[in-house]
Chains A and B, each alone.
Chain A
Amino acid sequence: MPPSTDLLQGTLDLLILQTLAPGPMHGWGVAQRIQQISKDVLQIGQGSLYPALHRLEYKGWIRADWGNSDNNRRAKFYSLTRTGKKRLETELKTWERLSSAVALVLGRVPEASA
């Protein structure tokens, strides 16, 4: 498994927060959703996923509750806390600023805005 988390350290947290924004979800679901939405480009291995989820939980941005999955299996569901929601907003703003700045530098602005 490529240790892509080094590169995506901050980004992974952002992706998880964004994925959890609509509602509670278990770890597997988070990984699947990210993979799905990114059209299989971003594959989050469990080795990065679970430490990240735990880290966010320890920070108090997300909350974990035991619940039942679709197939009635006991599973741990993660949901955003109030701090987490606020955090997501600021992280998103930062990301937008950063990515548009990177785009500017790379000279891809017209294409991106088109």
Chain B
Amino acid sequence: MMNELLTRVRFFFSRRRPAELDEELQFHVEQATQANLAAGMTPHEARRQALVEFGGVERTRDQCHEERPGWWIGTVWQDARYALRGFRRNPVFTVAVIATLALGIGATTAVFSVVDRILFRALPYAHDDRLVSVGLTAPIIPQEFMLGGSYYDWRDNQKPFEAFTSETGVGECDLTERNPARLSCASVEANFLPTFGVSPILGRNFLPEEDRPNGPKVALISYALWDAHYGRDPAIVNKLVDIDGKQVRVIGVLPRDFEMPTLQAADVLVPQALDEAEQRKADPGRVMYAFARLKPGLTIAQAQAALEPVFNYSLSLAPPQFRKEVHLRVRSVRDRQVQDVRLVAWILLGAVLAVLLIACANVASLLLARAAARERELAVRSVLGASRGRLVRQTLTETLLLALAGAAAGSILAEILLRIFIAIAPAGIPFLAKAHLDLRIILFTVLLSLLCGTVFGVLPALQKPRPAALAARSMHSGAHAWLRRCLVVSQIAISMVLLTGAALLLRSFSNLAQQDMGLQTRGVLAVHIPLPGYRYTTNQKRMDFFLAAETALRRLPGVQTVAMSDSLPPGGTHGEQIYTNIAIAGKPRSTGGTGGMVAWRWVTPAYFSSLGIPIVRGQEFTEAQRTSTERFLILSSLLASRLFGNENPIGQRVQPVPNGPWYTVLGVTANAKNAGLTGGDEPEFYQLRRNFAEDWNSSAVLLLKTSLVPAAAAPWVRSQIAQIDPTVPVEIETLSQGVSKLADRPRFEAALLGFFASCGLLMAVIGLYGVIAFVATQRTQEIGVRMALGATRLDILRLIAGEGVRLILLGGILGLAAALALAHWLKSLLFNVGPHDPASYALVALLLALVALAATLIPARAAMKVEPVVALRYE
């Protein structure tokens, strides 16, 4: 075996002179002549006979040559050169195929790179398939959570988990040493990292005694912080650093790929150091987020069932009005991370796969058309002695070359698309910033396109070219035409599905953008000033700063009003509380359920005029009331009607929080959006923020109503703030920008799906055009005959266009059915438009019909204008 291989290798490299073979053959003829002479022929006759017997030399020479190892490599090169010549002769075909492939490969790769981490890639934890998030759901907190009072009961009595841990959230903290920096610190239980199977790359994990109140102050730092702040100095372990003014010992460095299961950024991990005994007694205790590792073999559903007893026990301790609205939730960490993005990711993936399908169909269709056009050429080559294998190899070489070119262009396109995605994507799509092109995915799409190219490129070459194809006026093979029609119908159908999806999202987006929010965002600047907590330690300091800022900004020219609030509508976080906690003087407290959530804000009197929220009843706050000892609030219409029905709310006394202060209702405003762009309106009340420190337990944002353009106002605002405190960061944006940001997600979704749908439509239309143009050319002669026999040009138009119309109708109806069936997946992404919105469907059908008809009419018109005499002589 080895010998044989070596011999082959030797012959592969050693060239043999062709003369040797000729000499050998020459010798053979001479010997034959000698033999004939010996048999008694004349010399002339002997030589003639020998030559006759010998036969043709060329073929022997070729065959001997073909026996040579590595002979086929030469033919591949030959095929490749032949293919390249063919491409140069037919640039439209070549560009169309490569562009289609590039689009399919590029879009699929880019989208897959984005959704891979969301949907498929393993989390950076050991046993990531067994990690779950455990907790209660209630209206008050969007994610499942636990309370200190019940967490320890669950931890001690649960059965389905082999590890159970918690964290108490990520907060801002300050590194207060020579290089101060604002960081985020996560507080975790001591067994947090072991539960996730994460070990520090340097140093050690927390010890149990460090996770106790007044235990030693220790911290683990992230790889990024270690890198950026400490130059990856291993000596950081056991060093003391200042966090929020306290000395903390660094005990280790986290792995580079570490991330919190909540995906919150965390530069520092500290022990949460809760007092277990105190928490057990507390009601309700600290809010905690619990994570656990399932015992091997258990499913999430089984775990949930096994937790029911402890859950019911905890529920029995809760106030009765909560019981109905609190549920148990166990879900995988991945589900908690990706939330509603999962659906978007699947929809994008589906859309891009549909585009890939259309692209494949287009490539197949183009290759089939080329094969049909080349049938005659293949027949000629076959007759001239090319074997079928040789013809297949030739076609395969062409397909491979096209696929490689398409893959190269596709990879570049994928990189560009990915950068665009990252640039236009809204915040809140996890992992997007870290997305990068995945070689495996490029490989996969290239293989797929190779496959569809090969199948459709080589299929026609496999059939032995029919001798009939040699005759110039042959009918082209019917099977290919049928296949191409199928491909076009499926392309139209898939485009229809994509287009309806895009149309629905676009309509939803425009509904979102044009809705009446109940407030005026034009000309309003929002100035955020996050005060560093370690310097602004008291309410008084905070209030002094903001009151000074308010006064300073009022002095600016062109500023009409300056208002302050602690949060901004229509989205974003704001104060929230349970409806049934609100008490009205002289009325019994309502019972039964929580009554849902109520939004509230601290505002100054100018808030309503700045945002153009009209007062529909009663009065606005006045400047004088800011120094009043009495407390005032204003209700939204929704809350007023819920609390008081038809009674007059003005002058009533209301206590929003049990045991809290009482407020006097001063007025009622119109409803303004306060639960994001898509959310329904929550009932809301506004508390007047007076100039007393007790009202300033939270930060503030300044609202400027101004006629100035933001770019002109910003430097003035900054200089005014800098005069009060030059070190605080100032963030300025227009309120319209803030609102527009809320629409980023729907805009992103609509834009992407719209892009894919347009790509799909374009390719489908090219495919349709190709088929009709092909049919028209094929039937040129027939058209000539028909016209000679008296058919009008309109008849011809009908003949050719009818073909296209049939394909469009069939594809359109199939697509419509598929779209109707698939649309319910979009339901949760749509705003004020149903998944079966007739207008969207009608619009898409109309658009598709118009574009497709245009693609049909161009070649049909060309066929109509054919001169009968020319057509009869065609070819």
Contact = CB atoms under 8 A, between A and B. Distances in A.
Nearest to B20: A76
B30 A50 contact: no
Given A50-B24, A76-B20, A28 B31 contact: yes
Contacts of B21: 50
Contacts of A76: 20, 23-24, 27
B34 A50 contact: no
A27 B24 contact: yes
B23 A60 contact: no
Nearest to B31: A28
B182 interface: no
Contacts of B54: 46
A50 B25 contact: yes
Contacts of B8: 58-60
A33 interface: no
A23 interface: no
Interface stretch (B62-70, B106-114, B338-346, B707-715): B62-70
A74 B69 CA distance: 27
A47 interface: yes
A28 B28 contact: yes
Nearest to B27: A75
B7 A27 contact: no
Contacts of B32: 28
Interface string A34-76: 0000000000011100110011011110000000010101111
A26 interface: yes
Contacts of B66: 51
Contacts of A45: 55
Contacts of A83: 3-4
B63 A51 contact: yes
A74 B22 CA distance: 13
A1 interface: yes
Contacts of A57: 11
A24 to B, nearest CB: 14
A73 B4 contact: no
Contacts of B85: none
Contact of A47 (B31, B55, B69): B55
Interface size bucket, A side?
A: 20 to 34
A73 B24 contact: no
B59 interface: yes
Contacts of B34: 71
A60 B28 contact: no
Interface in B1-41: 3-4, 6-8, 11, 20-21, 23-25, 27-28, 30-32, 34-35
Contact of B69 (A1, A31, A58): A58
A27 B28 contact: yes
B60 interface: yes
B357 to A, nearest CB: 44
Contacts of A58: 7-8, 11, 67-69
Given A47-B59, A59-B8, A26 B27 contact: yes
A50 B27 contact: no
B330 to A, nearest CB: 67
Interface of A: 1, 26-28, 31-32, 45-47, 50-51, 54-55, 57-60, 69, 71, 73-76, 83
Interface in B462-490: none
A46 B7 contact: no
A73 B30 contact: yes
B60 A73 contact: no
Nearest to B68: A58
21 contacts: A31-B28, A45-B55, A46-B25, A46-B54, A50-B21, A50-B64, A51-B64, A54-B67, A55-B67, A58-B7, A58-B68, A59-B4, A60-B7, A69-B27, A71-B34, A73-B27, A73-B30, A75-B27, A76-B23, A83-B3, A83-B4
Given A47-B63, A54-B67, A57-B11, 12 more contacts: A32-B35, A45-B55, A46-B60, A47-B59, A50-B24, A50-B25, A55-B67, A58-B8, A60-B7, A69-B27, A76-B20, A83-B3
A49 to B, nearest CB: 8
Interface in B188-204: none
A32 B35 CA distance: 10
Interface string B528-544: 00000000000000000
Given A50-B24, A51-B63, A59 B7 contact: yes
A58 B16 CA distance: 12
A34 B30 CA distance: 19
Nearest to A86: B3
Contacts of A46: 25, 28, 54-55, 60
Nearest to B61: A50
A74 B4 CA distance: 28
A1 B4 contact: no
B27 A51 contact: no
A46 B69 CA distance: 21
A76 B59 CA distance: 20
Contacts of A51: 60, 63-64, 66-67
Nearest to A87: B4
A99 B67 CA distance: 28
Contacts of B55: 1, 45-47
A47 B30 contact: no
A75 B30 CA distance: 11
Nearest to B57: A46
Nearest to B32: A28
The 9 closest A-B CB pairs, nearest first, are A60-B7, A28-B31, A51-B63, A55-B67, A54-B67, A54-B64, A28-B28, A76-B24, A47-B60
Nearest to A27: B28
A71 B59 CA distance: 29
A47 B62 CA distance: 10
* Residue among A26, A54, A60, A76 with the highest chain B CB neighbour number at 10 A: A54
Nearest to B70: A58
B273 to A, nearest CB: 79
Contacts of A60: 3-4, 6-8
Nearest to A55: B67
A37 to B, nearest CB: 16
B822 to A, nearest CB: 56
Contacts of B63: 47, 50-51
Contacts of B67: 51, 54-55, 58
A28 B27 contact: yes
Given A26-B27, A28-B27, A28-B28, A50 B4 contact: no
A105 to B, nearest CB: 32
Contacts of A27: 24, 27-28
Interface string B47-91: 000000011100110011011110000000000000000000000
Nearest to B71: A58
A90 to B, nearest CB: 13
Interface string B669-710: 000000000000000000000000000000000000000000
Interface string B271-313: 0000000000000000000000000000000000000000000
